A and B are shown apart, each in its own frame.
Chain A
Amino acid sequence: MANIAPKLPDGLKKEFEQIVAQYEFKRGALLPLLHKVQEHSGYLEQDILVGIAGYLNIPQVDVFEIATFYTLFNTRPVGNNVILVCDSISCYLKDEEKVFAQIKRILQIGSGETTSDGKFTLFTTSCIGACDRAPAMMVNDKTFFKLTPEKITDILKEY
């Protein structure tokens, strides 16, 4: 059923309109809109996803499928920094597990959890396209390569 007054993030209305205007079919704007929301609020709030579905006149399920498929989208509140450790085959073969264990030990959190000071949230991810320099991980937008447990300590200190 058409959602007549969808909930959209305050202050993003204008940018939304600009994004949608770039596409011949409104639904094409879905992915850029989700990026915009995440950039604005850090994660994709459920009500806002409902709002976007209404705004684009597409079923809610289409929005949720996309939002949950990409590991770069957060569907829950996250810490200030999001760590994504690749656990696909190349990284796995190059001892990703040891790297991951080191992060868990230092931050005292498991996958999907946020540190108590709200500084880090940790996830695993599928391939991030860095197989040649495995194992790899991302912290926010930055990618780190050829990781070892030792390197992890230094990297985390930067944040």
Chain B
Amino acid sequence: MSDNLVSLTIDGIKVSLEKGSTILDAAQKKKVYIPTLCHYPELTRFGACRLCLVEVEGFRKLVAACTTPATEGMVVHTVTPEINDMRKTVVELLLLHHPLDCLTCDRGGDCELQKLAFTLRVTGDRFGFKTEEYPVDDTNLFIQRNFKKCVLCGRCVRVCDETRNVGALGFYERGFSTVIGYPYNKLVNCEYCGQCLSVCPVGALICKLSAYEARPWQVEKQRSICAYCGCGCSLYLEHKKNNLVKVSSEYGMGANNGLLCVKGRFGYDFVGSEKRLTSPLIKVNNSFKQVGWAQALGYIADGFKKVIENKGAQSVAGAAGARCTNEADYLFQKFMRAALGTNNVDSSVRLEHAPSISAMLGALGVAGATNSLAELKQTDAILLIGSNITASQVIAGIYVKQAVRQYGAKLIVIDPRSLEISRFADVWLRPEPGTDLALINGLLHIIIKEGLQDQEFIDKDTIGFADFLQSIKEYTQQQVEKITGVPAGQLEQAARLFAGAKTGSIVYGMGITQHSQGTDNVSALINLSLATGKLGRKNCGIYPLRTTCNSQGVADMGVLPDYYPGYTACDDMDGRRHFARGWGVDLPDKKGLYLPQMLEAAKEGKLSAMYIMGENLLSAYPERKQVEEALCALDFLVVQDIFLTETAKMADVVLPAASFAEESGTFTNLERRVQPVKAAISPPGEAKPDWEIIAGISNACGFVMDYAASREITEEIGRLAPLYKGINSEVLGTDGVFWPLDDNNKTGKPYFSMSDFYEGKGRFTAVDYQSEAENSEYPFMLITGGILFHHGSGAMSNRTKGLNYLNATGYVEINPEDADRLGLVEGDLVEVVSAGGKIEVKAKIADRYRSGIVFVPGNFIDLPVNKVMQVKADGASHMPAAKLTPVKIRKVT
């Protein structure tokens, strides 16, 4: 028997398990039932409710199974008359407070206390003792707390503190007066994630949005994937009579381990919005007319045909958003390439992580996070740069926080903003906006100067070190301090911390990519991984934080003008032949137009028709005017979406699509995990899943697409796209798989080894920082980005009741010093003016930013910040650099 094991007997059953386990662990392993209430997996052992009391031979009294360690030779009894009496009494005492209104309680039928009372046959009136009356706590907009029903198990307090690392809830007072609540009834840190709701065993916490909608036994639960950010959280869509009534999750589920954020849990009701598109629309004399599918599809086929006949296949283009399934994305590019004969197909990835794709493909030969999200927890040092991770990719943010607080990782945060995550940082560097490249090169300079690099790794596993060394020579501490404003001492501290750690990962967001040197920024981060040997093994990786549920997938599926599915270059002869054979048609040999080029071409009259799927380009594209002019110049525009977005309003034909809750297929999350998406309800009216619509158009155009279900498309992808080889609905199971699969590995690769990279090597890229001229006319630097309560350009999140309760309008955040200088107070209307345009918006005074920086969230349809933004493309990836715009601020009087 191994030293690490203990064996004991529970109710006559022998159990062996790891040392350090509890009696409860042992019982659960053998499925011996011990009732619990305060116990919850992964939370600290609490031992408060006393329901799990068991008898251990040789012990004088009963002990709590959840806190008592299992020891060698223990003999445990879980069922004795004494234990039964004890448990009954515990439940009776709990029922003293608890109103027996199970008939109207929202948790009736799904309540752990109800089940216990039932099992133990306890009614609860033996003591005839009444406790204090408490008013119901309605402080939280989403969650009602009923103190009388609360059993003080503390699960909500612990999950908020230990798992989410938020700390909004606590126990107040003591003894009989103890209640759970917020500090002085103010919601201080609450992120409205609703995790407290999900762990409450009784009806003490009720979701106000879904209360009294349905009894637990009336709903059906469909497991699927969240439609917001790139984390790809597994969730249950609970529905009744074709209506979504609730979103829930379960401990241990999916990439998110059962955690959800405010958007995922409370932002679902856009699905049932009255504003959903329900039938195809054709524009006649500037107004939309409802038509049937047959007419719409015929009209579209004629429209495309006419343009192609007159101006050639290169005069049509397609753009897809990142919210659609892999199956829809795959068919979309297949349609553009095989049916229409053009590579003019691009996606909204161009607006977020195109630089990651070009830099990673260049240096490593793969484009996606090299490691899994869960590994972040076990990483010794994390370098987080250019991301408000706790707002934009909440679950990834939780893993970073857990790494720091629960596992003792060191965290380096590089961001000019004061963010929620900054509180957890060991080192927080605040560079001037736009100087990240100089800063990263500066870190590398220190690492080389102090000999902290991993020379063995560099010699064995990398290429191009010598050239790279030359390129960072000038980035001395003094020089970098001058450019970035970060003190040399802090730079050294960060460099030593990261280089010195056993394992380390780099996590970055759009603060890195949305710059004119976006690709160079990512290359510099890869250099940092390579120089410190922190790549190609477990817990050592690079994570581009994707912003939308299928940002990774839409690129994987080749909705890119230069790549076929699986990043096979369009100008690669063999690759082209492979897809031409697979699709049974000749394919265009020239690469197509990138999204910004499409818009230019449309304005110049070289592009005449566009097909836009699942993207509100007018809001999402950083330069609104550019899109407006381009779309106006088109002869023919087809938009397929779930709402009549601003972009859809400009279309000649609008097609009603299914939302994530109504469509089946797969999403690929930011850790390359391909996960099954399953329709829970049917789409409203005539709306159809995206893939069905594309197939319909293709068939009308004469290129036959014959699929009975999305499953068949998944299989075709698995046959043709090299990265998705072998992936089909069977392999996917419920938790999905990490691409790529190989023959002996059916769950895929959570992390890449060096041998998975192109030729088994990482390539250094010499990159040089280019400073940008300052413009004294526009003294402020406008940063745009996302906030916790909304997502993307707001197309979905702005149309949910819950998220709009929390934050319904945009604002410009200004530093108190600047506000004083401009004579502004909170709520004043100001004008934000750039060389490109202006917006009027209310001022919010906050000290998250240094003087000279202002922030406007890009998440609001009603606040088109892209009227102000100005784009300079990142040369290597054609990414419109959108993060920073010089502006001036004027008070509107």
Contact = CB atoms under 8 A, between A and B. Distances in A.
Interface string A55-73: 0011111111100110100
B420 interface: yes
Contacts, number: 53
B174 A46 contact: no
Interface in A9-68: 46, 49-50, 57-65, 68
Contacts of B753: none
Interface in B183-200: 183-184, 188-189
Contacts of B422: 2
Interface residues of B, number: 22
Contacts of A71: 174
B173 A61 contact: no
Contacts of B169: 61
A4 interface: yes
A64 B189 CA distance: 13
B251 interface: no
- Point out which of B170, B172, B422 has the most chain A C-beta atoms below 10 A from its C-beta: B170
Interface in B410-425: 418, 420, 422-423
B170 A126 contact: no
Contact of B170 (A46, A50, A64): A64
A85 B512 CA distance: 62
Contacts of B172: 64-65, 68
A43 to B, nearest CB: 14
Contact of B423 (A2, A49, A69, A126): A2
A126 B176 CA distance: 11
B171 interface: yes
Contacts of B418: 1-2, 4
A126 B166 CA distance: 31
A120 B860 CA distance: 56
A62 B173 contact: no
A58 B166 CA distance: 10
A1 B170 contact: no
Contacts of B170: 61-62, 64-65
Interface string B152-195: 00000000010000111111111100000011100011000000
Given A4-B847, A60-B189, A65 B166 contact: no
A155 B418 CA distance: 56
Nearest to A65: B170
A28 to B, nearest CB: 16
Contacts of B188: 59-61
B173 A68 contact: yes
Interface string A61-102: 111110011010000000000000000000000000000000
Contacts of B167: 58-62
A106 to B, nearest CB: 25
B811 to A, nearest CB: 16
A141 to B, nearest CB: 21
Contacts of A1: 189, 418, 420, 423, 848
Interface in B270-315: none
A55 B423 CA distance: 12
Given A2-B422, A2-B423, A4-B847, A59 B184 contact: no
Contacts of B166: 59
Contacts of B175: 126
A57 B189 contact: no
A126 B174 contact: yes
Contacts of A61: 161, 167-170, 182-183, 188-189
Contacts of A63: 183
Nearest to B172: A68
Given A1-B420, A2-B422, 10 more contacts: A49-B183, A60-B167, A60-B188, A60-B189, A61-B161, A61-B182, A61-B183, A61-B189, A62-B170, A68-B174
28 contacts: A1-B418, A1-B420, A2-B418, A2-B422, A2-B423, A4-B847, A46-B184, A49-B183, A58-B167, A59-B166, A59-B167, A59-B188, A59-B189, A60-B167, A60-B188, A60-B189, A61-B161, A61-B188, A61-B189, A62-B167, A62-B170, A64-B183, A65-B172, A68-B173, A68-B174, A69-B171, A69-B174, A71-B174
Interface of A: 1-2, 4, 46, 49-50, 57-65, 68-69, 71, 126
Interface of B: 161, 166-175, 182-184, 188-189, 418, 420, 422-423, 847-848
